Amino acid sequence: MATAIYLDDTDAEAINPPKNEMLDVTKLVGYPTQHSPKQNITVSSNMHELLECHASLIAMNPPNHQCSNGEVPYFDGTNYASWKHRMKFHLYSMNPLVWRIVETGFVVVDEANPTVTEYRLLHNNAQATNALFCALSEDEFSLVCTLENAKEIWNTLQEIHEGSSSVREAKVDLLRCKLDWFELSEGESLHDMYTRLNSLVNEIKDLGGKDMTNLCVVKKLLRVMETRNPSLVNIIRQSDDFNELTPNFVFGRFLIHDIRKEESRIVRDLNKCSNRRRGAYNKVPPTHIAPHIIKEVAPQEYLTLMAQTMHHGSTG
């Protein structure tokens, strides 16, 4: 059998491999393998460092997975607030550390000799940058194509589509003014009103408005509904857990009230219809009730009329 010749990376001289040494690479990398370790293989100190570094990266960076539909949220320059929210959670689903890089950025002290932790940060930045580039249309990509830092790409898109911090504050002020004057439109359904309110609140949150708490939205919803249902508004305001109520819960209370109100109206209409029919029957002697009228009454009423007819015939 031919003897293999190996080169040590610190020395140009050929060396003969030890006869009985075995290196199990799977122990260094951390992944099992179906192949048995190769015999007569030596690894230099630099190679050991590289494998250990790779193993550390795998331990700190488990394999990433795509979102459920396997697609990155696409952005063509429209509806930025919606894309921003979906893209945030797409990056987070890849790995929480990937989103962290976009949110906070990172620093490498010595780019020529990064540490194991800095290698991880560089890898996370590459993942985030690749995902952002894949999500953009050609026009949007051209705005950030020269950037290689995920945080810079994210901030640039935000400034282009939302404006600078001062512009965002001005937009928030305008939206708050709209919220102050928000009211239920004439003929508008409860569901449509709540959808408009949520859309306005979410816009303020997306632009950095921190005061859009559940309590704030609940109070606004109650002010809107005060003219339509003052009694229920007062009941909700007097709740012991008022400060813990959510907008969805309060909306549900009004929705249930409207459903029961509609149910009561239907029952009243049915009762009125039934009373009118009974009044017509009482004015006509049972023997003279036309057959087509008898067929329209309920089974129980039909039996009653038949009994009255039979009784009237037997006594007549």
> What are the phi and psi torsion angles at 229 (to 5°)?
-145, 70
Residue 312 has pLDDT above 90, yes or no: no
What confidence tier does 270 reach under pLDDT thresholds 50, 70, 90? confident
Residue 42 has pLDDT above 60, yes or no: no
80-94 and 190-206 are packed helices; what angle lies between their axes, rounded to 10 degrees? 70
Place of tokens 């901030």: 155
Asked if 44 and 8 touch (Cβ cutoff 8 Å), the reply is yes
In the prediction, which pLDDT does 212 show? 85
Cα-Cα end-to-end distance for the chain: 128
Partners of 7 in the beta sheet?
Answer: 14
In the prediction, which pLDDT does 308 show? 56
Residue 138 has pLDDT above 70, yes or no: yes
- Rounded Cα distance, 22 and 15, in Å: 16
In the prediction, which pLDDT does 164 show? 76
> Mean of the pLDDT values across residues 263-290?
66
Cα 185 to Cα 77, 122, 188, 190, distances in angstroms: 31, 53, 5, 10
Averaged pLDDT score across all residues of the chain: 74
Residue 46 has pLDDT above 50, yes or no: no
- Rounded Cα distance, 117 and 123, in Å: 10
Which tens digit of pLDDT belongs to each residue from 144-153? 999 999 999 9
Handedness of CA 211, 212, 214, 217 (dihedral sign): positive
In the prediction, which pLDDT does 268 show? 78
Which tens digit of pLDDT belongs to each residue from 157-195? 988 888 877 887 888 888 889 988 998 888 888 899 999
- Rounded Cα distance, 11 and 21, in Å: 20
Domain range annotation of the chain? 6-60, 80-162, 166-258, 284-316
Q: Up-side HSE of residue 242: CA atoms within 13 Å toward CB?
A: 11
Q: Residue ranges of the alpha helices (H) in the chain?
A: 25-29, 45-60, 80-94, 96-104, 116-135, 138-144, 150-162, 165-180, 190-206, 214-225, 230-237, 247-282, 291-294, 299-315
In the prediction, which pLDDT does 228 show? 86
Residue 279 has pLDDT above 80, yes or no: no
Query: For residue 249, which of 260, 258, 259, 236 has the smallest C-alpha distance?
Result: 236
In the prediction, which pLDDT does 197 show? 92
* Cα 130 to the center of its chain, rounded Å: 23
What confidence tier does 31 reach under pLDDT thresholds 50, 70, 90? very low
